[in-house]
Amino acid sequence: MQKSQKNGEGSQLMANPKLVEEICKTLRKSTDKKLNIKFRLGIDDKHINYLDIGKIAQDTGIDYVILHARTKDQMYSGHANWDHIRKLKENLQIPVIANGDIFSVEDFIKVIDLTKADGVMLARGAMGNPFLFKEIKDYIKTGNYNKPSPIEIVDQLIDQYKLELKYKEEKLVVTQMRKHLSWYIKGLENSSKICDLVNKLKTIDEVMDELENYKSTLKG
């Protein structure tokens, strides 16, 4: 990320609206497929220009935009200011997608009610909680949703290990999945103990055995 920022890429592009316009025009000329751009509020609190970037996107034929309601300098600190998403929605005719601090169905309801956005983009909220996509989908369809049981959570975690193994070497999966393990089982019974234990294991078979043993101790 630091390299892209130094090169004027990523969210640093917001400091160069003319270049954003050129890129959007070039992209639009290159394809008839749906196009979107994702951007932040601006570089920092003194340079808030998301409305300008949104209008550039609309005027150059971009189909919809996604706004992460923080500045570049904020990274992921503080809170996403959803009120800016509302303002962008009020000023554009193309769809606006809300992004930032959507960790639950309750957050989804709040951000849609406040901003009238056309949809949401999930990111960190789905780390260790892929169930969130279905929960929101169920809520939209029925007005209700069910949280996964502890056993369902561990089953999903095991499935992700298996999926990762289809594309990566075993050693890489064992090490890279350690952070996912902590995200998945955070808040479950004995989660810290299990993380410490699994993080010391070297093979996928050892990991699977430990997770199955852990699952047998859980209720629901």
- What residue ranges define each of the domains in the chain, with the CATH number in brackets? 3-142 (3.20.20.70), 150-217 (1.10.1200)
Encoded tokens for 127: 């780390």
**Tens-binned pLDDT, residue by residue, of the chain (220 aa):** 454 455 566 889 999 999 999 999 999 999 999 999 999 999 999 999 999 999 999 999 999 999 999 999 999 999 999 999 999 999 999 999 999 999 999 999 999 999 999 999 999 999 999 999 999 999 999 999 999 999 999 999 999 999 999 999 999 999 999 999 999 999 999 999 999 999 999 999 999 999 999 999 998 6
- The residue among 134, 74, 129, 77 whose CA lies nearest residue 103 is 129
Return the pLDDT at 10.
Answer: 83
Return the pLDDT at 80.
Answer: 97
DSSP string, 71-127: -TTTTT-S---HHHHHHHHHH-SS-EEEESS--SHHHHHHHHHHH--SEEE-SGGGT
Return the pLDDT at 11.
Answer: 85
Return the pLDDT at 15.
Answer: 95
Return the pLDDT at 219.
Answer: 85
pTM value?
0.89
CA distance 146 to 139: 9
